[in-house]
Chain A
Amino acid sequence: MVAASAPAAVDVLAARLRAELGDAAVVTEEAARRTYECDGLAHFRAVPALVVLPESAEQVQTVVRACRDEGVAWVARGSGTGLSGGALPLVDGVLIVTSRMRRIVQIDLSNGRAILEPGVVNLAVSRAVSDDGWFYAPDPSSQLVCSIGGNVAENSGGAHCVKYGFTVHHVTGLEICTSDGELVWLGAGQAAEAPGFDLVGVFVGSEGTLGIATKVAVRLLRQPEAVTTLLAAFGTVADAGAATSAVIAAGLTPAAAEIMDALAIEAAEQAVACSYPAGAGAVLIVELDGPAVEVAAEEATVRKLCDGAGAFEIRVAADSAERAEIWKGRKSAFAAVGRISPNYIVQDGVIPRTALAEVLAEIDALAAASGIRVANVFHAGDGNLHPLVLYDATVPGEYETAQRVSGAILDLCVARGGSITGEHGVGVDKADKLPRMFSGDDLETMQLVRCAFDPTGLANPGKVFPTPRLCGEPPRPRAAGDLASQSRQQAGVLAW
């Protein structure tokens, strides 16, 4: 529908936006547009018909209104680090890039809040308040680059979300531009809550399908008094998993609990020479934070439990430099895999933590049966797996095999009652897999929200949902007569 009239509409749009926003904000040249053809999931590519770089909420509104008037769909993009193709452009649509909206609008430490423009880089928030003893908790691995607006769209997590929660737990208010071009404040912002439905809660994680966030109010936290980071080396991943379970069973809530298997360690050693204990089949990184007196006691408990689970070496970071050294291998793990394999797929699935050992064994079996190597890096504290499925694109059929293995891993997650994505999102990559978790009724219900926010379907169409619902469709016909009379009888029986 949009496609048929798009080329002409986009020309009209470009001219209008040049006039309203200036030439510098509108990118029409093909080579320049091509630089936006993918996000962090480079397998999917599409050159957008037009790229616009607004500098303010009002300019976003101008762009969205122009799109509405011309019936052109649009996609919002922050820093383009997403791993599910959520910011994949539309060839006949507009890409709205927020990278020029990088102002920290307000910081109020008396109330523990900051108001940010969506292009602000995640780490810039903590950096702005760290000297005063505060931080912003969500810390996705890409935090040096990724934007707050993108974090809002994806409900980004990070290594520390096992204790601190995800983006949604830290966003207290939003200014959004809806697809009909209205700028609307949602939620409280400065206070803990506001009257009405929790629209902030449903907008965060909606992957750009409900509108664009133009300002983000976030909660800041006081830095913990003490932080300790401990690295334990085990012979097997199962032992490292058992140690994690023992820590949780002891009633501890670590700030992070991360496991890497032998193949992931090998890659990290080659890439960044992290010098993890030689011969480790797995390493477990546990970070503890809080009041110093609690952290000291917890560290002793974790040491004891790791010993009990068979750790053959335990290192504890004495200072922030040593802490960075321990984290270096983990944080570089995804990119490091490029050292041991020409190509790889980063998977993101979740299982109940108690199923860890079994699922990892099943992943091993899958890998062995297919001849494909799988490196495992995961957030052990919350069961969020990041299997890295290695392949060589120059070998015929290997990509297809890797895709099959990657998909089968998600099936394992779903079979255990887990999720097809813990933090990377659905995007285009997993839209067809959403029905493995949800019924048609479940997905239709979610799209009721979509229809309330974006009845014309111009906001990031084709993402998240496998089958878009046309808004304004009459509700599906329901069997009325017989069912209703049965229900009345049932109701009579039940009344009391």
Chain B
Amino acid sequence: MVTVVAPTSATEAAEVMRAAVSDELTVLPRGAGTKAHWGGTQSNVDIVLDTRRMHGVTAHEPGDLVATVRAGTPLRDVQAVLGLAGQRLALEAGFTEATVGGVLAAGEAGPLRLRHGSGRDLLIGVEFVRADGVVARSGGRVVKNVAGYDMGRLLCGSYGTLAVITSATFRLHPLPPARTWVSRPVGTLDEMADLVGEVMSARVSPSSVEIDLRGTSGTLAALIEGSRAGVDARAETATRQLGGGAVIGDEPAWWGRYPFAPDDVAVKLAAPVGPLGSVLGALRAAAGPGVAVRGSAGTGVLYAALPGSTSAEHLHSTLAALRSALAEAGGSCVVLAAPPSIRDEIDLWGPVPGLALMRRIKDQFDPARRLASGRFVGGI
């Protein structure tokens, strides 16, 4: 039987972990659960540690462009508070309910990652509860700080397997006075790859360059942010550079949304930008001509949707072909989610550089395999 426990503070979360230690129970940290189906299957969850009662922006100093947020706060609530001061956390979630802790732990990042990176690049301080119930911190609340190891980076993208994030301090950015999108239809993968290179010019300097493809055709869109006059001029430049029916407009309906539905096989690719066209060609060859792809062409982090009805065998060979093409180019792909019937049959992660070191880190942090065990790379 799974017990859901919802502590209201790091101290209470630590008590939960210590109880789990003494009773030899396993724990799954969870925010809103929007990505509960991501990663490997954790066997025998005894306690779900729900972070949502650790809620709220506990500090926001606009003059320092820094805010501290409790882990269970939905990211959109954070943005609402920061927006009042004309600021934002340059981090985006693919699900509207997603909490700050969940976005960090799953390593989610949206279109702004081209300019601002992902959560680990914006996180300047973190508080967390270890598997043995000890509360610890690293970093601080100043942007520039090299005192001690950066544990925040280690926790970002760790799927809750090392510690429970209870609070996060971020570097913020001013909300740009103006934003506009330049979109253009693309007909072939090579054309798309060329245009991505074009639009990332210094004159346009886009905040995001995203694609939305089904098969070989679809849309390329660049987000341009800055002053009103500057954005207008840069958008004109981008329109000329892109040619071929490029138009200036509002946010495309697909912007920042994953291409996959809950029942699909959800794949994330991280490819070098140079050979993006050939990587997507390999994806199309492996997964079929109708495969849907969306994401940050500017950084090479893309999401693909494969039908959930795919057999484990077929998915296995699709992934093998795709990973082979990606390995040649210097990229990787992971299966974020797959229907339960096939999830345990396939290698979700592919080759993992440094896996032996990662296992040693897990051994140090959680030797009893109490936290989210089995959810991450190599069964960590």
Residues of A that sit less than 8 Å from B by CB: 108, 110-113, 133, 154-155, 157, 161-162, 165-166, 168-169, 173, 178, 182, 184-199, 201-202, 204-206, 222-225, 245, 248-249, 251-253, 290-294, 297-298, 350-354, 379, 382-384, 417-426, 430, 434, 437-439, 441-446, 448-453, 464, 475, 478, 480-481, 483-484, 486-488, 490-491, 494-496
Contacts and interface: CB of A to CB of B under 8 A. Distances in A.
A479 to B, nearest CB: 9
Given A155-B150, A190-B331, A191-B331, 13 more contacts: A168-B150, A186-B353, A186-B354, A189-B330, A195-B332, A196-B349, A197-B158, A222-B202, A224-B202, A350-B145, A353-B64, A420-B147, A426-B146
Interface stretch (B76-84, B133-141, B254-262): B133-141
A9 B299 CA distance: 49
Given A199-B357, A253-B174, A169 B154 contact: no
A204 B364 CA distance: 20
A93 to B, nearest CB: 22
B350 A449 contact: no
Interface in B227-275: 227, 229-230, 233-234, 270-275
A173 B162 CA distance: 22
Contacts of A448: 361, 364-365
Given A111-B272, A198-B156, A291-B205, A449 B149 contact: yes
Pairs of residues from A and B, 10 with the lowest C-beta to C-beta distance, nearest first = A201-B153, A190-B330, A110-B274, A484-B22, A487-B19, A251-B174, A111-B274, A452-B360, A419-B145, A354-B63
B151 A480 contact: no
Contacts of B360: 452-453
Contacts of A252: 174
B285 interface: no
Contact of B201 (A110, A222, A419, A424): A222
B268 to A, nearest CB: 9
Contacts of A184: 353-354, 356-357
B320 interface: no
Contacts, number: 317
Contacts of A294: 205, 226-227, 230, 234
Given A193-B301, A419-B147, A478 B173 contact: no
B227 A112 contact: no
A248 B149 contact: no
B65 A248 contact: yes
A422 B145 CA distance: 4
Given A199-B358, A248-B65, A446-B138, A188 B332 contact: yes
Contacts of A292: 203
Chain B contact patch, size range: 35 or more
Nearest to A182: B356
A354 B147 contact: no
A299 to B, nearest CB: 12
B12 interface: yes
B157 interface: yes
A110 B142 contact: no
Contacts of A486: 15
Contacts of A434: 147-148
A491 B50 CA distance: 11
Nearest to A479: B18
B210 to A, nearest CB: 14
A425 B113 contact: no
Contacts of B349: 195-196
A110 B197 contact: yes
B12 A490 contact: yes
B175 interface: yes
Interface in B48-101: 53, 61-66, 86
A438 B140 CA distance: 9
B122 to A, nearest CB: 10
Interface in B84-135: 86, 107, 113, 117-118, 120-121, 130, 132-135
Contacts of B334: 195
Nearest to B64: A352
Contact of A293 (B53, B158, B233, B350): B233
B363 interface: yes
A352 B6 contact: no
Contact of A442 (B12, B136, B296, B361): B136
B202 A225 contact: yes
B18 to A, nearest CB: 6
Contact of B144 (A111, A379, A441): A379
A351 B142 CA distance: 7
Contacts of B158: 197
B136 A155 contact: no
B5 to A, nearest CB: 5
Contacts of A166: 144, 146
B195 interface: no
A451 B47 CA distance: 29
Contacts of B273: 110-112
Contacts of B47: 491
A452 B143 CA distance: 27
Nearest to B365: A448
Contacts of B221: none
Nearest to B193: A110
